[in-house]
Amino acid sequence: MDEWEQYFAENPAPRGYDVSCAQLEAFCQLHVNRNPIALVTSGGTTVPFERNTVRYVDNFSAGTRGAASTEYFLAHGYAVIFLHREKSVTPFLRHLDPRFLLDALQEVPGGLLQLSSVHSSQRVKSESRLLWLTFQTLSDYLWLLRAATQCLQQRAPKALLYLAAAVSDFYIPQDKMAEHKIQSGAGPLTVTLHLVPKMLSPLVSVWGPELFVVSFKLETDEKKLIEKATGSLRKYKHDLVIGNLLQTRREEVTFVTEKESSLLRLMEHQKAEKTEIEKLIVEEVVTRHRNFIKY
Ligand code: PAZ
């Protein structure tokens, strides 16, 4: 058994998994001959310490990139499966400032409150082209990622995968995980995190070999970024790696393919106009995906 198969054998599917699979199936069937389909992954995965989880390891990702990109894909006519971390940033709602939320609500018959039409029109129009799926832990994420990839491969094999989630490289295997809350009475805690099998490998070669796969590579050391992005592309043989640095990810990214590597950077006037880098990233990805669909 491969390491990744072992991982799925040892880590149970998330609650509601069958319902998510049915939703994926219905969504893909509905859109396959109508709209291009994109799977956007977004936000960070958690790694629990205990099975009855009180504590977990998390990462920095708020899900801004995935949520913003989803809006731009919808604007380009895509149907989007938005696989995101619970309570992370979400498309459209991210524009609402909680301090002014009450201004965006209007009363409707029955004493209920709903978003006023100004705020909801774009959302409502896009709603039928948007499927929301959530994860919390690394394991939830991997189960749903595999299900979505396999469903797209079967129903819409030219679909786009846009993997912007920040996925943990480390985890605690089920048989090493405490059942109940770890007690501090036992003294300082030493935890060994094990390596997660590299899932891009089966994703590209087994689950979705015909899909257009775009992954993101995050680094903090500028000197390592291109080398690591190129290494990932050579190893997994997918279509595009978008490299970004933690410190500058809102202003610039580098597109790395087998043939070239090109910098995409917001210009001064775009920054002044508050253009989001995701708008430029999605424009470029859509162009490449359209070319891919033609052949
Ligand atoms: O979620 P966010 O907008 O704060 O950050 C986006 C990002 C940096 C997580 C994303 O662009 C990315 O690089 N994802 C892949 C991370 C990785 O190398 O696993």
pLDDT of residue 127: 64
Of 81, 80, 86, give the one whose Cα is nearest residue 62: 86
Of 197, 193, 151, give the one whose Cα is nearest residue 173: 193
CA-to-CA distance for 244 and 222, rounded, in angstroms?
Answer: 9
pLDDT of residue 122: 65
Residue closest via CA to ligand 1's atom 10 equals: 164
The answer to whether residue 27 scores a pLDDT higher than 90 is yes
pLDDT of residue 126: 65
Is residue 225 left, alpha or beta, with left meaning phi > 0 and alpha meaning psi from -120 to 50? alpha
The residue behind tokens 């708008």 is: 279
The answer to whether residue 118 scores a pLDDT higher than 60 is no
The answer to whether residue 20 scores a pLDDT higher than 80 is yes
The topology (CATH level 3) of 3-294 is Rossmann fold (3.40.50)
pLDDT of residue 100: 81
The answer to whether residue 179 scores a pLDDT higher than 70 is yes
3-state SS class at 27: helix
| pLDDT tens digits along 73-117 | 999 999 999 999 999 999 999 998 888 877 778 888 888 877 776
Q: 76 CB less than 6 Å from ligand 1?
A: no
> Amino acid letter at 31?
H
- Ordered by start, the domain boundaries in the chain are 3-294
pLDDT of residue 105: 80
CA-to-CA distance for 110 and 264, rounded, in angstroms?
Answer: 50
Residue closest via CA to ligand 1's atom 19 equals: 166
Q: 208 CB less than 6 Å from ligand 1?
A: no
**Range 49-71 average pLDDT:** 98
The answer to whether residue 162 scores a pLDDT higher than 70 is yes
Strands (E) in 116-247, as ranges, are 130-135, 160-163, 170-171, 194-195, 212-219, 240-245
Q: DSSP letters along 86-150, please?
A: TTS--TTGGG--GGGGGGGEEEETTTEEEE-HHHHHHHHHHHTTEEEEEE-BHHHHHHHHHHHHH
Q: 166 CB less than 6 Å from ligand 1?
A: yes
**Range 39-54 average pLDDT:** 98
Residue closest via CA to ligand 1's atom 9 equals: 166
Percent over 90 (pLDDT), the chain: 88
CB atoms within 10 A of CB 145: 23
Of 77, 69, 64, 199, give the one whose Cα is nearest residue 141: 199
Say how many Å lie between the first and final Cα of the chain, rounded.
Answer: 35
| pLDDT tens digits along 190-246 | 999 999 999 999 999 999 999 999 999 999 999 999 999 999 999 999 999 999 999
Handedness of CA 227, 142, 131, 206 (dihedral sign): positive
pLDDT of residue 113: 79
Is residue 195 left, alpha or beta, with left meaning phi > 0 and alpha meaning psi from -120 to 50? beta
Residue closest via CA to ligand 1's atom 4 equals: 61
For residue 215, give the ligand 1 atom closest to its CA: 15
Run of H or E residues at 20: helix 17-31
The answer to whether residue 148 scores a pLDDT higher than 90 is yes
The answer to whether residue 155 scores a pLDDT higher than 60 is yes
Strand 240-245 relative to strand 252-256, pairing: antiparallel
Run of H or E residues at 152: helix 138-155
Q: 84 CB less than 6 Å from ligand 1?
A: no
Distance 251 CA to ligand 1 centre (A): 13
Q: Mean pLDDT for the chain?
A: 95
